[in-house]
Amino acid sequence: MIPRLRYLLLSTAIVLVGCGSHAGQKQEEYVLPDQVKDFKTLYGANCAGCHGQNGRYGAARPLNDSLYLALIGKGRLREVIAKGIPNTTMAPFAQDAGGTLTDQQIRILADQIMARWSSQSSTAALPPYSAQDAEADGLEPGNAKRGEEAFRRYCASCHGVDGTGRLGTPGGSAVDPAYLALVSNQSLRTTVIDGRSDEGIPDWRDYIHKQPMKPQEISDVVAWLAAQRKLQTYAAKGEMNLK
């Protein structure tokens, strides 16, 4: 029995030595998902897939865009992260809205996006961010008829007079049904104001050289674009009824 006991003890010692061979290596501690507080980890897991690893060149609007961040502000940015944008691909991330992030994690994301990618330039000349802000400033609600005229003036050189991007214009369609189905009116307004800096699309100041769009014209163009979505919906329903 003694030789067998020695064998067992020796085998156990070898196993223990083998298990402890990595003792000198640093072991990473597991962190519960709702305890993660590192911005890069949070951004990489929740934002980079749509907005790009460095806040640019993703399918969605760049966050590494000081004009956009000045336009939306930290409070609204935090709200969008938390609540998402209904009827679009921007899902809510707050736990109480069905997401996975805590309020603290959402604050970290919004605070760090602003700290890393915004600038201190003046925002006094920015147009109103939302239609509600515009009306609070005394502007009229967007008018689609006026918006069609404004679109032809400011946007036709890239998107064509009808917005379809045909006839050799450099931009794509602004009225593509799939595109309009995926974006909210606020997203349309943000794009009209801010363009897409990562794709070389100008903002509201540079569609016509030295002739920035007026805030009322921005609201009107958005109203016209939104009207195209409704027209396409009605047309699709009409085709379904005919079948």
Q: How many Å is the Cα radius of gyration of the chain?
A: 27
Residue 128's CB: how many other CB atoms inside 10 A? 18
Assign 17 a pLDDT band (cuts: 50, 70, 90): very low
Task: Please give the residue that has the higher pLDDT: either 9 or 33.
Answer: 33
Assign 123 a pLDDT band (cuts: 50, 70, 90): low
Alpha carbon separation from 12 to 4, 19, 87, 115, 191 (Å, rounded) = 12, 11, 61, 55, 67
Q: Give the type of residue at 73.
A: G
Torsional class of 122: left (φ above 0), alpha (ψ -120 to 50), beta (otherwise)? beta
Tokens of residue 154, six digits: 């400011």
Exposed, middle or buried by CB within 10 Å (0-12, 13-18, 19+), for 51?
buried
As a whole-number percent, the residues of the chain with pLDDT over 70 amount to: 82
Closest CA to 173 of 192, 193, 154, 158: 158
Whole-prediction pTM:
0.80
pLDDT at 2 over 80: no
Judged by average pLDDT, the poorest of 18-27, 66-75, 88-97, 213-222 is 18-27
Tokens of residue 26, six digits: 């640093």
Taking only the tens place, the pLDDT of each residue in 156-193 is: 999 999 999 987 788 889 999 999 999 999 999 999 99
Q: What whole-number distance in Å separates Cα of residue 48 and Cα of residue 52? A: 5
